[in-house]
Amino acid sequence: MSQPFLAKKESRKKMKNTPVQKNQELEVTVEDLSYQGRGVAKVDHYPLFIDDALPSEKILAHVMKASRNYGFAKVIKRYNDSPDRQLDSESAYLQTGIAPLQHLKYEAQLRFKQQQIEELLHKAHLDQIAVASTRGMAEPLHYRNKAQIPVRMVNGQLETGFFRQRSHQFVPMHDFLIQDPRIDQVLEAVQAVLREFEVPAYNERQHSGVIRHIVIRRGHYSGQVMVTLVTRSRKLPAGTQLAQQIMSHCQDVVSVYQNINADKTNVIMGKQEKLLAGKPQIEDQLNGIKFAISPRSFFQVNSLQTEKIYQYVAEAAQLSGKETVIDAYCGIGTISLSLAKKAKQVYGVEIVADAIKDAKQNAVLNGITNAEFKVAAAEEQFGKWASAGLKPDIVVFDPPRKGLETKVLENTLTLAPKKIVYVSCNPATLVRDLQFLTENGYQVTGPIQPFDQFPQTNHVESVTVLERTEK
């Protein structure tokens, strides 16, 4: 329904009535860091979010946008450096959002992640739950085993790069800082072959052209590389020759795919793919367990930290060989298979059919016979397990950012595991779910343990262990 004319006019007037105006320049002192890693300064209680600004820094800021409740500003001049500032950071990485915390010293990044969980617990009146120090990496760069790089034409040439944050400006780039350096090299080789074959890059405005993204995955231990060319069109002229050329330039590339994404969308991969050359999967390991990985299956991007997380999960589970375990949101079965050898039976559930195909194959690959995998939404499968009277001893959750569905939480109470191990990639939904579980017969044992799975970025990964209070 439309508002009466007067009210509309009034509300428009109100919107302009902010303590700062667009294009205004003013001196402010940064007080806080938002969860996205932006500096926060207050002008009469009105928060201004400022890129590349850290608490205790006094700056001359230029207001870029002033909405009713908050604004955005950029730094014109910085008068002092925070003791936490990493002085050799490069603005390109901050601007592209590849490494939004690169200007913060690593120790401070780790503290920042711990504090984020603490603050959310505090807001939820769960202060009794402690948070341990974040376990970080010895070398917090070049850790990603997967890259998804946009491709565009720049001055008539196909270029790989990245988009500036909050804009559609494409920035050509070759050193991606947080990726496995070999991935950067393969990317250059793929770019050269695409230029040689004169394959045009995607044009977003016209929804024309061919190559949208280059996705590269590299096994941390195996060194095997998979290249996926994401195309707008089904047609990829000379696709097979092109793939063979990539493989002859890079001996470690064992698999080249075309993935077709014809939609006008931000989603990177489409639903169809075609193997152009080589093997259908690459292999890698985590804690000595082998995994075959398909192009669209989820596989943790930071192998070294993932191994630490899975070891922590296994220790928390304290398996004796008699337990029934559910691994919810199991992907290609990584957690299931790392627990199976010490459990009686493991059940995994996952929504992506290809991932479950990989999980089943991975069980065979490792000689594991006590793991059963189901393709289903966790919210459906938990209901089925509850009705079937399944009595798991332990449930491991590793949900996507949106956390656990109400149906999953409610059915967990029926399944009544003695122990829950919750691996979370989003502290906001973790705390929401902990509130439910602690109000319904579970208590958190020990501190929440954050792991730095994504150094230089604002992502916070953690593991929480809960036990049922009544026996």
Toward ligand SAH, which CB reaches closer, 273 or 379? 379
Identified catalytic residue from 66, 425, 444, 448? 425
Binding-site members for S-adenosyl-L-methionine are 300, 329, 350, 398
Which pair of tokens denotes residue 126? 């769960």
Is 425 one of the catalytic residues? yes
**Cβ 150 to ligand SAH, closest distance in Å?**
22
Q: Is residue 413 a contact partner of residue 440, using CB atoms and an 8 Å limit?
A: yes
Q: C-beta of 422: minimal distance to ligand SAH in Å?
A: 12
Classify residue 132 as exposed, middle or buried by CB count within 10 Å of its CB (0-12, 13-18, 19+): middle
Strands 170-172 and 211-218: unpaired
Question: Alpha carbon 325 to chain centroid distance?
Answer: 25
Query: CB-wise, 160 or 453, nearer to ligand SAH?
Result: 453
Comparing CB distances to ligand SAH, the nearer of 71 and 399 is 399
Least separation in angstroms between residue 340's CB and ligand SAH is: 14
Residues that bind ligand SAH (CB under 6 A): 298, 300, 329-331, 334-335, 349-352, 355, 377-379, 398, 400
Cross-strand bridge partners of residue 260 = 231, 272
Shortest distance (Å) from residue 127 CB to ligand SAH:
29
Tokens 């929401």 correspond to 432
Per-residue DSSP letter, 330: -
**Nearer to ligand SAH (CB atom), residue 106 or residue 373:** 373
Amino acid 323 reads: E
Instruction: Please say whether the beta carbons of 129 and 105 come within 8 A.
Output: no
Q: Which residues of 155-177 are buried (b: 16+ CB within 10 A; e: fewer)?
A: eeebbbbbeeeeeeebbebeebb
Query: If 0-12 CB within 10 Å is exposed, 13-18 middle and 19+ buried, where does residue 435 land?
Result: middle
Site of tokens 């002229």: 237
Name, in order, each residue with C-beta under 8 angstroms of 5's C-beta and a sequence gap of 6 or more.
none
Q: Between residues 379 and 393, which has the closer beta carbon with respect to ligand SAH?
A: 379
Whose Cβ is closer to ligand SAH: residue 256's or residue 316's? 316
Which residues, at least 6 apart from 132, have a Cβ–Cβ distance to it below 8 Å? 114, 447, 448, 449, 450
CB of 379 to ligand SAH, least distance (A): 6
Residue 312 beta carbon to ligand SAH: minimum distance, rounded to whole angstroms? 13
Minimum CB–partner distance for residue 243 and ligand SAH (Å):
27
| Residue with Cβ nearer ligand SAH (183 or 289) | 289
Binding residues: 300, 329, 350, 398
Helices 239-249 & 181-196 angle (0-180, nearest 10): 140
Give the burial class of 345: count Cβ atoms within 10 A of its Cβ; 0-12 exposed, 13-18 middle, 19 or more buried.
Answer: middle
CA distance 352 to 374: 10
Contact 230, 189 (CB under 8 A): no
CA distance 194 to 229: 10
Q: Point out the residues that are catalytic.
A: 425
